[in-house]
């Protein structure tokens, strides 16, 4: 294994970014200077969007069961998802990482392999960043820049009374995947130090759940489908902290209420089976689990017929006046107030 110190900062940057070529004409200067230079003036209609996220070892990920290539891919997707949630297109990515002394060059090769794969799949240019040392584990901070025509920007604040509430994909799978990984980690920890061979986890039939937590996919396909159908959402957000929390964000920003129906919330068969195994209500996981990185959006009632033609998109309720509250309607017709019980990274203990 190669010590990072043998390459130095700039030697390491050269190695990790070797062969990178821009996908976009707007990238005038990429990796290699103090700043990346991007020109959007050629299209005055477009606006730049920017987002940033930081992932901390022990808080957002556990290297016991998270492959570094998957971690790099996921770190990029977390940011790309935010850009798509604005109805924008990601263009450039800046990556800053902090690593401890135990981290070798080959480990960073793996991390960057995941980052580069994500960039290739979404046509995004990796244009710079920073590297430093850490005494508390791995940290990854990513900034993503994107663009969108001004009149097509979708915020959290545009939902109106009678709008339909829609969601892509299915929910709760990432949370149940995390429960499986954490359970196997506890089992493995209990076996260490014994004389018998340590058994390896068997996730047969649960591969989808594991992939959802370790290697999520930002929903560019949904943005493409909306554009093709000529549907402009009135409000949109990506689901990182749980359906309830995200829907409440839209309601607060838009000054509205909502009604969503338990029976309409999409869940995968594997998610339902795993929830039963853990003695958990599957809709509790779907409402509060987080890290699904699906898109939650509202559309005018007049778009109902068009929305039904969108692949992998479901209507789960509708927007109401603010005074009617934010409600979940159960299968038996009871109404309960939605609560923001999703994951809170700043809390001493997550509620999810």
Q: What angle do CA 95, 99, 102 make, to 5 degrees?
A: 145
Tell me how far apart the alpha carbons of residues 267 and 201 are, in angstroms, rounded to a whole number.
24
Tell me how far apart the alpha carbons of residues 122 and 112 are, in angstroms, rounded to a whole number.
15
The domain locations on the chain are 4-152, 164-195+207-337
Q: What does the radius of gyration of the chain's CA atoms come to, in whole angstroms?
A: 21
Structure tokens given for 184? 């196997």
CATH of domain 4-152: 3.30.1330.10
Q: What is the pTM of this model?
A: 0.88
Structure tokens given for 115? 């980052």
H or E stretch at 166: strand 164-168
- Hey, how many other C-beta atoms are within 10 angstroms of the C-beta on 305? 7
Give the strand order in the sheet containing 256-261.
Answer: 235-238, 295-299, 164-168, 313-321, 256-261, 326-329, 335-337
Query: Which region holds residue 3: left if phi is over 0, alpha if psi is between -120 and 50, else beta?
Result: beta
CATH of domain 164-195+207-337: 3.90.650.10
Per residue of the chain (352 residues), give pLDDT as tens: 888 888 877 788 888 888 888 898 888 878 876 777 787 776 567 888 999 999 999 989 999 999 999 999 999 999 999 999 999 999 999 999 999 888 999 999 999 999 999 999 999 999 999 988 898 899 999 999 999 998 999 999 999 999 999 999 999 999 999 999 999 998 887 765 554 555 567 788 899 999 999 999 999 999 999 999 999 999 999 999 999 999 999 999 999 999 999 999 999 999 999 999 999 999 999 999 989 999 999 999 999 999 999 999 999 999 999 999 999 999 999 999 999 775 555 454 444 3
Structure tokens given for 251? 């309601």
């Amino acid at each position: 294994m190669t010590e990072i110190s043998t390459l130095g900062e700039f030697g390491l940057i050269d190695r990790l970014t070797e062969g990178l070529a821009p996908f976009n004409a707007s990238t005038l200067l990429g990796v290699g200077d103090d700043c990346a230079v991007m020109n959007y003036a050629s299209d005055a209609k477009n606006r730049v969007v920017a987002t940033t996220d930081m992932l901390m070892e022990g808080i957002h990920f556990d290297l016991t069961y998270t492959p570094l290539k998957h971690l790099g891919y996921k770190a990029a997707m977390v940011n790309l998802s935010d850009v798509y949630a604005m109805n924008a297109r990601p263009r450039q990515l800046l990556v800053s990482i902090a690593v401890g002394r135990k981290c070798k060059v080959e480990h960073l090769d793996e991390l960057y392999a995941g980052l580069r794969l994500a960039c290739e799949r979404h046509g995004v240019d990796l244009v710079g960043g920073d590297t430093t040392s850490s005494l508390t584990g791995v940290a990854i901070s990513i900034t993503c820049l994107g663009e969108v025509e001004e009149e097509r920007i979708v915020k959290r604040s545009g939902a109106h009374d009678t709008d339909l509430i829609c969601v892509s994909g299915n929910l709760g799978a990432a949370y149940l995947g995390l429960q499986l990984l954490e359970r196997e980690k506890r089992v493995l920890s209990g076996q260490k130090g014994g004389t018998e061979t340590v058994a390896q986890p068997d996730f047969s039939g649960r591969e989808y759940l594991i992939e959802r937590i370790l290697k999520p996919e930002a929903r560019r396909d949904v943005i493409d489908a909306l554009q093709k159908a000529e549907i402009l959402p009135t409000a949109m957000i990506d689901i990182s902290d749980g359906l309830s929390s995200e829907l409440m964000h839209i309601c607060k920003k838009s000054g509205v209420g909502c009604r969503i129906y338990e029976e309409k919330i999409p869940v995968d068969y594997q998610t339902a089976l795993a929830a039963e195994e853990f003695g958990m209500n599957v809709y509790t996981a779907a409402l509060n689990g987080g890290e699904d990185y699906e898109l939650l959006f509202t559309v005018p009632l007049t778009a109902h017929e068009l929305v039904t033609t969108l692949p992998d998109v479901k209507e789960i309720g509708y927007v109401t006046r603010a005074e009617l509250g934010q409600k979940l309607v159960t299968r038996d017709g009871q109404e309960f107030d939605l609560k923001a019980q999703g994951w809170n990274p700043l809390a001493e203990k997550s509620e999810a």
